[in-house]
Chain A
Amino acid sequence: MKSATQIIAACILVAGVLCAASPPAQAYRAFISNEKDNTISVIDTDTLKVIETMKVGQRPRGVLLSKDGAWLLICTSDDNHIEVYDAKTYEFIKNLPSGPDPELMELHPSGNPLYVANEDDNIVTVVDIQEGRVLSEIQVGVEPEGMAVSPDGKYVVNTSETTNMAHIIDSQSHKTVANILVDNRPRVARFTSDGKQLWVSAEIGGTVTIIDVESKEPIQKIAFDIPGITAEAIQPVGIAINKEGTKAFVALGPANRVAVIDAKTYKVEKYILVGQRVWNLSFTPDEKYLMTTNGVSNDVTVIDVAKQRGYKSIAVGRYPWGIVITNE
């Protein structure tokens, strides 16, 4: 038999949940890796405030959440491993082997395994995150950087910065099925949500190449031109494409802008001014905000996606690098 207090408590809880669910108060948490500080800044996307600063290993760069949202994975590059933390309590859980100098990583859509780019060793390491062991090493080009996995889990993609290629790898056989030359110093690779296209940014080349996944051929190359900014300063890195596949946002590094691209016509529609040396970016799950990491100005710019302009800057640690946002 339930006591009256329990019933009241339950009612309050229900009311609380209802209240929390009412728009626009859905709060996610963004994890920002601060490369220089060896910390992770946790931002509440509702209040847009830093709610926690986690001390982690050396030179944290790529960050990722496990598919169930329970674990935060961090490439601590100078410690040559991946650290796993509880994404809610921020407590350390374990280290995963990663191969040397891990930089960026991506999970298989099934939640396991993890594919890690080892920048110093020309390989992609495949890691079982549950068992914590290396399953395989895949030979790629010089300075592996960007990682992506197709939504159907069939292909793993790695970009190599000095070889200037996107390597498309069969996730079952671990064999490279295509090596597609893109412009100089490719950084980030992103699949569209339907898995039909692969977008690859080239930092020094100053372009984004769009690859048709079925034919594995480049179908489009997007260049950028900003009045008053030298061509050399336009260095595309992070890419975020909305779920609908209609808009893409590309971080342009020291140009201090994020380009807004019509993902159907490939036309650049706008450049949004953000903080200095913008590298990586991520949508909140509701796609209300897009958040960018600005390495030189030590802050995160929150972009109002609908209005396509900067909404707020949030100071974080030194040299903010990677970003991942919770799903709930």
Chain B
Amino acid sequence: MVMTQREEPDAAPRARSHRLLTIILCAVAAFSGLFGLDATWAANAAPEEAKSTNIQITYVEEERDRLAPLSLLDFRPPTVGFDGAKLAVNDNNTTGRFLNQSFTLDKVSSAMPEELIEKVVAQAKSGIGFFVVDASADTLLALSDALKGLPAVIFNAGASEEYLREENCRNNVKHTAASDTMLTDALIQYLAWKQWRKLVLVIGPKPEDKLYAEALRRSVKRYGLNLLEEKEFVYEAGSRRSDGGYEQVQKQIPSFTQKFPEHDVLLVADVANQFGDYLPARTWKSRVVAGTHGLYPTTWHPASELWGATQFQNRFQRLSGRTMKQLDYAAWMAVRSIGEAATRAGSGDPKQLIEYMLSEKFELAAFKGQKLTYRPWNAQLRQPIFVALPRIHVSVSPQQGFLHQVTVLDTLGTDKPETKCTAFQ
């Protein structure tokens, strides 16, 4: 079933009083006369007359069956991702008001990939150029192939699979979600900085766990740490909840981890979130657990107040009534990228904006203390990554001392000389 819902632009916060409303109206009236001047500065390509430009963006969600997470705290909010896009559309509209640009957000969702793709293609054919996508890697690839030749771009906000940026990269896909290797490099850099060099690894049985483990192995090798042993954690996904059961877990985990050689950190790859939370504080030896659980790398942390993030977190909290997740942040960055390109290029034309985003002029401010740019060879957004515990961040990678000839952000993830992506050449 396809579901569509339309979000009207909601640029101005709710009018605080009639007086404020009057001020806004006066201000808007004043801007219209001066628009030409500002737009000329925004870009030479800006229209001469004060013609309003509307930029349509669609949020695309593939509904998937997911196993329930271990913790009651980890249930997926129904509007995760979409809320981030909504906030960015509001932010874009507040800016757009001064430049006569407006942004609208649509949502398309389906559990059936074919139906989802059909709907998106129809929208692209009707002239919509921007799709922020939360879908499985397979669906994302099928969607990008279906959009081939159309003036449309996909922002991958949800899939971290490395191969989407590498051998299966597509020139109509940008990635605001971090790749697996960006995340694992961020974590392993921190372990290297701590001199916690002896590692063991527990891997879940799912294919995505294997991919994450692969990324961990690569990072461990890249930063010269030692992976001494790996072990698969076999489990039958059963009912999540049973009254009690902790007694068994409390006994199982120590014996499972008992035979590992002497190590500093126990790494865990449990992307499906089915057992990782059972490891911290239950291992045979008192060791740090890191990876998908315990100390984990993440593009966003709900408690970050670094680099002016407080207001950003507040705005999101007011809009959604909850804290921000990685998917919200990735969707926000995607929609803000579009807004930033529209502001600077003074245009609403998808083709021009896509070109602008790939140019060296593009830069995004996203509460990470430095400008973010897209890697020209695979359209992956570069970004600092938090190394965190659930309640507060511990550090931010890249760590001090890891150098790079282009930007230190390229110490995170597959770098240009090693890339297998050829779509942008």
Interface residue? A102 (CB, 8 A): no
The secondary-structure label for the interface of chain A is loop
Judge whether B13 and A138 touch: CB under 8 Å. Answer: no
B13, B16, B37, B407: which contacts A232 (Cβ < 8 A)? B407
Q: Find chain A residues with CB under 8 A from B94 CB.
A: 122, 141-142, 163
A122-B12, A139-B24, A218-B41 provided; 6 other pairs, C-beta below 8 A? A121-B13, A141-B95, A180-B38, A181-B38, A205-B363, A206-B371
Interface residue? B98 (CB, 8 A): yes
B31, B365, B407: which contacts A230 (Cβ < 8 A)? B407
Interface residue? B358 (CB, 8 A): no
Bound together, the chains give a CA A205 to CA B12 distance in angstroms of: 26
Across the A-B interface, give the 3 residue pairs with the lowest CB-CB distance, nearest first.
Answer: A232-B370, A179-B98, A163-B95
Number of residues on chain B facing chain A (CB within 8 A): 37
Asked whether A179 and B38 contact (CB < 8 A) given A137-B23, A142-B95, A204-B371, the answer is yes
Judge whether B343 and A143 touch: CB under 8 Å. Answer: no
How far, in Å, is A75 (CB) from chain B's closest CB?
14
How far, in Å, is B9 (CB) from chain A's closest CB?
14
Q: Which one of A14-22, A170-178, A241-249 is at the B interface?
A: A170-178
Judge whether B91 and A162 touch: CB under 8 Å. Answer: yes
A167, A173, A184: which contacts B371 (Cβ < 8 A)? A184
Asked whether A232 and B371 contact (CB < 8 A) given A141-B95, A176-B31, A179-B98, the answer is yes
Q: Which A residues lie at the B interface, using CB under 8 A?
A: 101, 119-123, 136-139, 141-143, 160-165, 167, 173-181, 184-185, 204-206, 216-218, 230-233, 235, 254
Q: Find chain A residues with CB under 8 A from B12 CB.
A: 122, 139
Q: Find chain A residues with CB under 8 A from B311 CB.
A: 101, 119-120, 143
Bound together, the chains give a CA A136 to CA B410 distance in angstroms of: 47
How far, in Å, is B279 (CB) from chain A's closest CB?
35
Interface residue? B20 (CB, 8 A): yes
Judge whether A161 and B41 touch: CB under 8 Å. Answer: no
Q: Find chain A residues with CB under 8 A from B310 CB.
A: 120
The secondary-structure label for the interface of chain B is helix
Interface residue? B26 (CB, 8 A): yes
Closest to B407 in A: A232
Closest to B28 in A: A139
Interface residue? B146 (CB, 8 A): no
Q: Find chain B residues with CB under 8 A from A233 CB.
A: 370
Judge whether B26 and A204 touch: CB under 8 Å. Answer: no
Interface residue? B42 (CB, 8 A): yes
Bound together, the chains give a CA A174 to CA B23 distance in angstroms of: 8
Asked whether A164 and B34 contact (CB < 8 A) given A175-B27, A218-B41, the answer is no
Asked whether A164 and B343 contact (CB < 8 A) given A175-B30, A204-B371, A205-B371, the answer is yes
Interface string of B292-322 (1 = CB under 8 A from A): 0000000000000000101100110000000
Q: Find chain A residues with CB under 8 A from B272 CB.
A: none
6 residue pairs from A and B, CB less than 8 Å apart: A120-B311, A138-B23, A141-B94, A185-B365, A217-B41, A231-B407
How far, in Å, is B315 (CB) from chain A's closest CB?
8
Closest to B344 in A: A181
